[in-house]
Amino acid sequence: HTLTYSSAGHPPPALLTPEGDVTFLDQATDPPLGARPEHVSRPQATASFSEGATLVLYTDGLIERREEDIDVGLARLAESLRRRGRDNPEALADALLADLLNSNRNTDDTALVVIRL
C-alpha cells in the first residue's frame, strides 16, 4: 500500500509499522498554509506501508518544548509509539497524551489523530 502526504506547516506525521519501527514522514514539508505571498503547489511525497501500520498526525504542542530541540520531542514520540504501538488507536492516543504532555509546562494546544491502516 502507498500513502501520499504533505506536512505543510505541521510536524511530520509518524508511521509505525506492525513490527514496531517508526518513520517520520518528513519528505514533503512546507511553511503553513497562507504563509507564502504567492500561490505555489504544495509538495507531496509517498510512503509505503503494510496493513496494520499506524499513522499518527499531531500538532507541535505534543512534541515541542521551549527549552529543547524538536528532535528530542520527536525521539520521545517515537519511543512512546514503540512501547505502546500495539494498543488500539483510541488507547494509543490516550497513552501518547499521557506520555508526552507535561501539564506543568506545556501551554501549547495539542491535537492528535491516530489511524490504523
CATH code of residue 74:
3.60.40.10
pTM of this prediction?
A: 0.81
Domain count, the chain: 1
Contact at 8 Å (CB) between 25 and 7? yes
Distance in angstroms (rounded) separating the CA atoms of residues 35 and 112: 23
pLDDT digits (tens, 9 = 90+) for 29-55: 655 555 557 766 666 778 888 999 999
Distance in angstroms (rounded) separating the CA atoms of residues 96 and 115: 13
Where are any strands of DSSP class E within the chain?
2-5, 14-16, 22-24, 45-48, 54-58, 112-116
Which triple of cell numbers denotes residue 55?
499513522
- Residue 104: pLDDT band with limits 50, 70, 90: low
Distance in angstroms (rounded) separating the CA atoms of residues 44 and 27: 8
Neighbours of 60 (CB within 10 A): 15
Q: Cell 494498543: give the residue.
A: 87
Helices (H), 1-117: 70-84, 89-100
Residue 6 sits in which domain range? 2-116
Least confident of 15-24, 26-35, 50-59, 69-78: 26-35
